[in-house]
Amino acid sequence: MTCYVNPDRENFAAFKALPRDRPIQLLNLIRYRESAAYPEGHACAALGWSGERAFAEYFTRLVPVIHALGGGMIWEGRFEGVITGPAQFEWDRVFVMGFPSANAFLAMVTDPHYKEEVVPHRTAAVLDSRLVRYGEG
């Protein structure tokens, strides 16, 4: 099974080639690690957090960053059951974040504070993920 945590160069280049000046929504599908995998020496490495707990830390740090850029949570739901498809649902958390533009998202992912203080919690938490861009309409 191939797992995806961060975008590859090809997909990120395709994202950057799309219009950057209009609102976007990002569908997030997240599967947690059983145990968070912080690098040795990280302040949270010795805490014994689950992937879910590490993702909660990521989310706590992420939301203010997104709000400062004019974005926010559009939708998040609690899984209740599959109607069409396999009964086993593989995602632990599903949500949609909105940004006023792709430029705002790019500003976030290139910000040193985001990369150093926020992303490590996501990386430690996530076993597999999908991040899918949608436009209005």
In a domain, 18, yes or no: no
CATH no. for residue 59?
3.30.70.100
- pLDDT for residue 119: 97
Report the C-alpha gap between 38 and 26 in whole angstroms: 25
pTM: 0.93
Query: What tokens does 71 get?
Result: 């974005």
pLDDT by residue for the chain (137 residues), tens digit each?
Answer: 789 998 999 999 999 999 999 999 999 999 999 999 999 999 999 999 999 999 999 999 999 999 999 999 999 999 999 999 998 899 999 999 999 999 999 999 999 999 999 999 999 999 999 999 999 87
CA distances from 20 to 14, 105, 106 (A): 12, 9, 9
In a domain, 69, yes or no: yes
Report the C-alpha gap between 89 and 103 in whole angstroms: 33
In a domain, 8, yes or no: no
In a domain, 7, yes or no: no
In a domain, 17, yes or no: no
The residue segments making up the domain with residue 39 are 23-135
- pLDDT for residue 77: 92
**Beta bridge mates, 132:** 27
How many domains are there within the chain? 1
pLDDT in tens, 12-35: 999 999 999 999 999 999 999 999
